[in-house]
Amino acid sequence: MKPHKQAHMTILNIETSTHVCSVSLSCNGKNIFSKSDNHGQNHAALLNLFIEEALKHLPAEKSKPDAVAVSSGPGSYTGLRIGVSAAKGLCYGFDIPLISVNTLQLIAYAAIQVVSKKENTLFCPMIDARRIEVYSAFYDADLNVVRDIKPDIITEGVYNEYLSSKNVVFFGNGMEKCRELLTHPHSVFILDINPLSDNMLYFSEKAFSEGKTEDVAYFEPFYLKEFQVTTPKKKV
């Protein structure tokens, strides 16, 4: 999967959906600047500094990027709010389009790059949603959606319909706490797969070249929400 190229395409990519804060500047299929911090709780202090540094690396003929891309979640409320607010401010200030990148697809892309055996394999990114709950999705090795984003309460056997016939690679910041319950022999686990702005260029350049942008005024990311557990009302 190679990034889609277009002459002089320069995009500022912002990723703040988890504990990692990262910013990159891509130009024609390559990252020409990248910076990240994985210590958490520092997004508000670091993001603007990273953006300012990234903009200093614009090509000489450019006074502004062609677009800003931001991770759209699911993810941390605080992290997404900080990233989206910064992205919107830049889009308004520079009068450039806003692009959103699905966080689960982003980390699935990263995982696919490090797995050598992709045949008969599905990829399941997991974003932590507290307790034993995650937001997850299933993709094949070409990033086609097998099952779209859904909140899951993890119990033993919850994914057996996929595991019964294929290997499933689990990863993301919600994976580790679920590992003891995902005991099927077709389960594979990868550590340290985080959403990073470095990997956004595949999605952001493709979206830009296809004209797929967001309404800056009304765009809202996919915030993690509390799971709602309902019980049937007793009949009187």
Please tell me the CATH code under which domain 10-102+194-209 is placed.
Answer: 3.30.420.40
198-211: pLDDT as tens digits: 999 999 999 999 99
93-131: pLDDT as tens digits: 999 999 999 999 999 999 999 998 889 999 999 999 888
Neighbouring CB atoms inside 10 A of 64's CB total 15
List, in sequence order, every residue forming a beta bridge with 101; answer none if it has no partner.
71
34-74: pLDDT as tens digits: 999 998 878 999 999 999 999 999 999 999 999 999 999 99
Domain boundaries, the chain: 10-102+194-209, 104-189
Domain 104-189: which topology? Nucleotidyltransferase; domain 5 (3.30.420)
Domains 10-102+194-209 and 104-189 share a fold: yes
Structure tokens at 172: 């993301």
What are the residues whose beta carbons fall under 8 Å from the beta carbon of 154, sequence distance 6 or more? 132, 133, 134, 177, 178, 181, 182
**Helix ranges (DSSP H) in the chain:** 43-55, 77-94, 103-114, 160-163, 201-209
In this predicted structure, which of 80-89, 162-171, 225-234 has the lowest mean pLDDT?
225-234
Residue 231 pLDDT greater than 60, yes or no: no
The side-by-side arrangement of strands in the sheet containing 133-139 is: 145-153, 133-139, 121-128, 167-171, 187-189
Question: pLDDT grade, residue 7 (50/70/90)?
Answer: low
Q: Which pLDDT belongs to residue 235?
A: 44
Residues 77 and 221: their CA atoms lie apart, in Å, by 9
Handedness of CA 93, 94, 95, 101 (dihedral sign): negative
Question: pLDDT grade, residue 223 (50/70/90)?
Answer: confident
Q: Which pLDDT belongs to residue 11?
A: 98
In terms of Cα–Cα distance, which of 125, 129, 126 is closest to 111?
A: 125
In terms of Cα–Cα distance, which of 96, 9, 21 is closest to 58?
A: 9
